[in-house]
Chain A
Amino acid sequence: MFCQICKKEQATVQQLEKHEDGEWAYCQMCEKCALAAEAGSSATHPVGKMLIEGAKKKAAASKSTPGDAFACPGCGLAYAIFSKQRRLGCGLCYDSFRSDVEQIFRRVQQHTNHRGKVPGRPQREVRPSAELDELRSKLQRAIEEERFEDAALFRDKMRRLTEGGGA
């Protein structure tokens, strides 16, 4: 299979990338293009430029995608860095960047729910989910509407619930 970026060399690397249309997917690349994408180095390199500009364009246009300036209230990780590095900064990032995370799951995992083992700590109880689900929805709406102080309040409430009831 040929590299999806340069279309000249054989693809030997599979990397999670956010495309111009804002969609996450695995991208098959040759080593040279993969290194360029990873370093992000190159705002001047065709790969880096395409990926970074595409992500910014989509984030600016989309109501459900946070802007680059948005940071997770849990750890301070900026959306722009998550989008470029494809790494989350804490457990709360899963909610802060929920729409992207779910999109990544649908594309590369083809599932969005865990069906495997539960951590073996006996004291841990399955937390009451209704209140947390409601708080999560409120957190998500607050993020979308850029009401970050409200988002921080909902985050703190979720943390207190989680610490109190185990997860």
Chain B
Amino acid sequence: MSQFPGDEWLRGEGPDEDIVLCTRVRLARNIEGHCFAIAQDDDEAEAVASTVATALHPIAERHGWRWHDLRDVTTLDRRCLVERHLISRELEEAERARGVLFDEHGRASIMVNEEDHLRIQVFRSGLRMQEAWEAADAIDDEIAACLEYAWSNEFGFLTSCPTNTGTGMRISVLMHLPALVIAKEIEKATSAIHEMDMTVRGLYGEGSQDFGDLFQISNQKTLGASEQEILKSLEGAVQSLIEWERRQRTRFQEAPIHVADRAWRAVGILERARKLSSEETMSLVSRIRLGQVLEIIDSPTLQQMSRIFLLTQPGHLQQRAGSPLGPSERDELRAQLVRQILHDS
């Protein structure tokens, strides 16, 4: 069995790993002389995808990235790539020529012909903003040496959406904030983050708040500040949230029976249930994870929780079954898989 249940973002190690699952830095780039996605016809899309894939080939070889033309990838496999966070839903659903490069550990992925010609993504486990930025910056420089970016002195990197113009940089930090949710302080916390000009979304984007008590905190602005200034601002916001969550967790540790009871009840359901929805599974995993990081319970392990997190998502379940499944069938298979993961140690 692999040491890690999935890609870098699920490795569960790194600074502040008890709260921060993953740091992601994304850079949006377009190449000069070609239309952006909304104005492309089929020929233009083909030309962009081909030009970029060809130009990036030597870089891909150096980094050990594999190229995947998404037109050759099945619907189910595309869904799994979304669930692994290697591609976005936009790239999954688009019909134009497009693809993705990524390494086997999911530390970096480059989407080609998504909303922009290039979307460079670097992932690091835990809170590692500077490291992720430096890695993304280095990849960006390698690509800039062989492709001319659409860029202006005035506006910086020219992107398809004006909300990405300038640095084209979005830093996102995936955080587990169960204590703030339980204490009903999460709305106050997220309002405070909004006041700092950052955005807070659930794991699967807008509208998925409270899914597994997981939240993505990202910078909102990309223009008018340097990459380091944006990074430092976000770092400040994230540190505030970490301190807030830790203070609340400390209060729970003073009366551990409540956390223990919630965690052990969750273990009981996961071990015995015959049907589990995604939402219920993630809610139960969250309770167990809180118990684990507070060292109130020692079993199951964080590794098992990470495997449940990744493998019980709808696409992965259906890939395991070898065919599309309806919601009820997925719920049954999910429960079966969870029992199997908890049984294996």
Interface residues in chain A, defined as those with a beta carbon under 8 Å from any beta carbon in chain B: 12-14, 16, 31, 34, 72, 75-77, 81, 85-91, 93-94, 101, 104-105, 108-121, 124, 126-127, 129, 162, 167
Given contacts A115-B224, A117-B167, contact A87 B160 (CB under 8 A): yes
Is B58 in contact with chain A by the CB < 8 A criterion?
A: no
Most chain B beta-carbon contacts within 10 A, residue among A72, A115, A124: A115
B residues less than 8 Å from A127 (CB atoms) = 153
Per the bound structure, the CA–CA distance linking A87 and B94 in Å amounts to: 15
Per CB-CB distance, the 9 closest pairs between chain A and chain B, nearest first, are A111-B224, A114-B156, A89-B39, A120-B141, A75-B39, A116-B167, A109-B223, A13-B206, A87-B38
B residues less than 8 Å from A120 (CB atoms) = 140-141, 144-145
Is B223 a contact partner of A105 (Cβ separation < 8 A)?
yes
B residues less than 8 Å from A12 (CB atoms) = 206-207, 209
Stretch from B15-23, B29-37, B62-70, B314-322 forming part of the interface with A? B29-37
Is B207 a contact partner of A105 (Cβ separation < 8 A)?
no
Is B227 a contact partner of A116 (Cβ separation < 8 A)?
yes
Interface residues in chain B, defined as those with a beta carbon under 8 Å from any beta carbon in chain A: 30, 32, 34-39, 115, 137, 140-141, 144-145, 148-163, 165-167, 169, 199, 206-207, 209, 220-227, 229
B residues less than 8 Å from A31 (CB atoms) = 206-207
Is A121 a contact partner of B144 (Cβ separation < 8 A)?
yes
Q: Which chain B residue has the least Cβ–Cβ distance from A127?
A: B153
> Chain B nearest CB: distance from A37 CB in Å?
13
Ordered by A's residue number, 6 sampled pairs between the chains whose C-beta atoms are within 8 Å are A90-B35, A91-B32, A93-B36, A111-B224, A114-B154, A116-B167
Per the bound structure, the CA–CA distance linking A94 and B140 in Å amounts to: 23
Given contacts A109-B221, A115-B226, contact A104 B162 (CB under 8 A): yes
Is A126 a contact partner of B224 (Cβ separation < 8 A)?
no
Per the bound structure, the CA–CA distance linking A138 and B166 in Å amounts to: 24
Is B206 a contact partner of A14 (Cβ separation < 8 A)?
yes
Per the bound structure, the CA–CA distance linking A67 and B32 in Å amounts to: 27
Is B161 a contact partner of A87 (Cβ separation < 8 A)?
yes
